[in-house]
Amino acid sequence: MTEGKDEQNRLPLVMRTGERSLRFQFGDKLDQGTYQKVLHFSRLVEQERDMLLQEWVPSYHTVTLYFKKAPQNINKVIDHYLTKWLEVDRTMCIKTNKPLSISRKVSIPVCYDEEFSLDMERISNHTNLNRQEIINMHAETVYTVYMIGFLPGFPYLGELNKKLATPRLESPRRRVAKGTVGIGGQQTGIYPLESPGGWNIIGKTPLDLFHPDRKEPFLLQTGDQLTFQPISEHEFYTMEKQLKQQPMLINDFIN
Amino acid sequence: MIPLLKVNSPGTYSSIQDSGRFGYQRYGVPASGAMDKKAFNLGHYILGNKDKPPALELFFGGQKFEVLSDHRIVLVGADLGAKLDGEPCPRWKTVPIYKGQVLEFTRMVEGSIAYLIPEGGFRAKRFLGSASVYPKGKLGTILTKEQILYANQAAQSTFKRGLSPAKIPKYQQNINVSVWRSPHLDYFTKDALDQFIRSSYTLKAGDRMGYLLDGPKLEFRKSSDLLSEATQFGTVQVPNSGQPIILMTDAQTVGGYATIGKIAEDDLWKVAQLQIGGEITFEWEDENIF
């Protein structure tokens, strides 16, 4: 293989998807290697502080850049990011399949008690697991926050233990409380806001994943390594009260 | 803080909007902001408002307001049959309003979304840097009966200003729009791509999240499901039903269905202003060099 060919392989596919948007694609499926590239590229974009850049949205396999206005010379912009990317790619070992060292670790306290686990029986019936087994399996996994969307601050988490997969409710609830932890098909997640929802409810966290008036409005960001920490009902209400008085205590859950 | 309007009737959907909320899409917060940026911008231009302060966005008509303070406003965007104390209220030019008057939007005449902007804009709470209301994210609420809307400042000018007739946008029920090609075109059959360009699609329903179209079904090679990725204002998403949805400014920031393109910015306002039953045809944007 020539050097040039190797370099080509390391470059993402780039496509202009609108006047002000560029899409960088790092793979075509969900795998760790692709996702590492997404995270590193996002970090590069964040550190670049390109004046023309308005914002960027990472997904499992793409990073989309939005500019404040249509770049005059889009090829120059693309070249700029690709050149920077090759520098990152050369200097950083991103072939490893291990979680990134740049990732934060976030521990989410969850009360799985009956009061908050409205669909535990449904999950139990579907999975043939008892309550304690379900809680253990849900809480022993380290999840990656692959993407945030659907609602402000709603994390797309991977991967739920397949044994816990349970189909969504046939008719969604009109209201699912803020902080609710649920299982929907092969996915698990946390509702950052009260919203309609069809996931099976297994618990609730006292943490506000999204609080528009907080200095850091969002608790989670893409790439975070997330775990669920089972807590008692008493702990739930104590934490809820403390967090209400001192919202900044939420930072204690981030490592 | 000047009390400007009291809401006697909030209409179908009325909300405070500005240029949008930027920098939070990666946290799942859509850009929001005015659906018809062209009208919104022209309104501020007419008033000479700096930094495009918050405006009131009105869908479809049915709103009724009592004026609480003498002021100076402009109505732009759709013709929603506005009447001030029963007399037709002009659009695209400054209008003095006086305490006690009633401003009413009676019916949808041309277009579907109007903007009411006072000199200096409305006073509104900003969330994440923007006053644009996004109820799904609990970022503000739509107008409710009896609510009081405040102006940022008292009117400082009595200047009459308007837009020259040639510059006033016309809202049509048959539009042709340019579309940037999507990276997912290989999800569609070749026939589907031809059909998309050849056919006309009818607006079936619409809100700030999306405009649902109805027309020849677009077929997929396999299915529309894909790994979720970023979407934007104007993205034309096609779920497995084969009927396109134009994602509007409050749409989700990421989507898991194939998209066929993105409407050109210069044409988005025409889409926003379509009434139910309006027809759209699409053409590919030339500039695609990739």
Structure confidence by residue, pLDDT tens digits, A131-183: 999 999 999 999 999 999 989 999 999 889 999 999 999 888 999 999 999 99
Residue A74 in this model has a pLDDT that exceeds 60: yes
Nearest chain A residue to B267 by CA distance is: A19
User: B182 touching A, CB under 8 A?
Assistant: yes
As a whole number of angstroms, the distance between CA B220 and CA B224 comes to 6
pLDDT tier at A101, thresholds 50, 70, 90:
low
Q: List the one residue out of A56, A81, A23, A38 whose CA is nearest residue B182.
A: A23
Burial of A171 (0-12, 13-18, 19+ CB in 10 A): exposed
Residue ranges of B 224-263 with Cβ closer than 8 A to chain A: 227-230, 232, 234, 252-254, 262
> What pLDDT, on a 0 to 100 scale, did the predictor assign at position B4?
98
pLDDT tier at A29, thresholds 50, 70, 90:
confident
> What pLDDT, on a 0 to 100 scale, did the predictor assign at position A5?
54
Rounded to the nearest integer, the mean pLDDT of chain A is 91
> What pLDDT, on a 0 to 100 scale, did the predictor assign at position A150?
85
- Residues of chain A by 3-state class (helix, strand, coil), percent to 5: 35, 30, 35
Per-residue DSSP letter, A128: T
Topology annotation, domain A3-91: Gyrase A; domain 2 (3.30.1360)
> What pLDDT, on a 0 to 100 scale, did the predictor assign at position A3?
46
For the ranges A102-106, A111-115, B209-213, which has the lowest average pLDDT? Answer: A102-106
As a whole number of angstroms, the distance between CA A159 and CA B157 comes to 61
Element (H, E) at B38: helix B37-47
Alpha carbon B178 to its chain centroid, in Å, reads 18
Alpha carbon A197 to its chain centroid, in Å, reads 18
ipTM of the complex: 0.96
Residue A2 in this model has a pLDDT that exceeds 80: no
User: A21 touching B, CB under 8 A?
Assistant: yes
Superfamily for B174-284?
A: Cyclophilin-like (2.40.100.10)
User: A147 touching B, CB under 8 A?
Assistant: yes
Rounded to the nearest integer, the mean pLDDT of chain B is 96
Min Cα distance B261 → chain A (Å) is 8
> What pLDDT, on a 0 to 100 scale, did the predictor assign at position A1?
38
Min Cα distance B70 → chain A (Å) is 34
Task: Considering chain B, tell me which residue range(s) the CATH 2.40.100.10 domain(s) occupy.
Answer: 174-284
CB-CB under 8 Å, B183 with A156: no
Residue A69 in this model has a pLDDT that exceeds 80: yes
Report the pLDDT averaged over residues B137-155.
97
Domain range summary for chain A, segments of one domain joined by +: 3-91, 105-253
The model's pTM: 0.93
Per-residue DSSP letter, A52: T
Report the pLDDT averaged over residues B226-235.
96
User: A131 touching B, CB under 8 A?
Assistant: no
* CB within 8 Å of A205: residues ≥ 6 apart: A108, A109, A110, A111, A179, A181, A190
Q: Do B9 and B145 form a contact (C-beta atoms < 8 A)?
A: yes
At B53-94, the pLDDT tens digits run: 999 999 999 999 999 999 999 999 999 999 999 999 999 999
> What pLDDT, on a 0 to 100 scale, did the predictor assign at position A100?
56
Total residue count of chain B as it appears in this document: 290
> What pLDDT, on a 0 to 100 scale, did the predictor assign at position B286?
81
Report the pLDDT averaged over residues A204-232.
95
Residue B17 in this model has a pLDDT that exceeds 90: yes
> What pLDDT, on a 0 to 100 scale, did the predictor assign at position A49?
85
Q: What is the number of other CB atoms lying within 10 angstroms of the CB of residue B20?
A: 18
Report the pLDDT averaged over residues A102-124.
95
Report the pLDDT averaged over residues B112-135.
97
User: In this structure, is the dihedral angle defined by the CA atoms of residues A215, A217, A220 and A221, taken in order, positive or negative?
Assistant: negative
> What pLDDT, on a 0 to 100 scale, did the predictor assign at position B1?
85
CB-CB under 8 Å, B227 with A61: yes
> What pLDDT, on a 0 to 100 scale, did the predictor assign at position A224?
95
Tell whether domain A105-253 is in CATH 2.40.100.10: yes
Residues of A in contact with B180 (CB under 8 A): 16-19
> What pLDDT, on a 0 to 100 scale, did the predictor assign at position B287?
60
User: B222 touching A, CB under 8 A?
Assistant: no
User: B183 touching A, CB under 8 A?
Assistant: yes
> What pLDDT, on a 0 to 100 scale, did the predictor assign at position A78?
97
> What pLDDT, on a 0 to 100 scale, did the predictor assign at position A32?
84
CB-CB under 8 Å, B228 with A147: yes
For the ranges A1-5, A16-20, B146-150, B258-262, which has the lowest average pLDDT? Answer: A1-5
At B89-111, the pLDDT tens digits run: 999 999 999 999 999 999 999 99
Residue B281 in this model has a pLDDT that exceeds 80: yes
Encoding tokens for residue A219? 């608790």
User: In this structure, is the dihedral angle defined by the CA atoms of residues B16, B22, B26 and B30, taken in order, positive or negative?
Assistant: positive
> What pLDDT, on a 0 to 100 scale, did the predictor assign at position A103?
85
> What pLDDT, on a 0 to 100 scale, did the predictor assign at position A92?
63
At B18-52, the pLDDT tens digits run: 999 999 999 999 999 999 999 999 999 999 999 99
> What pLDDT, on a 0 to 100 scale, did the predictor assign at position A10?
78
Please report the DSSP string for B132-145 in residue order.
--BGGGTBS----T
Residues of B in contact with A17 (CB under 8 A): 180, 182-183, 232, 262
Residues of A in contact with B254 (CB under 8 A): 57, 59, 147, 149-150
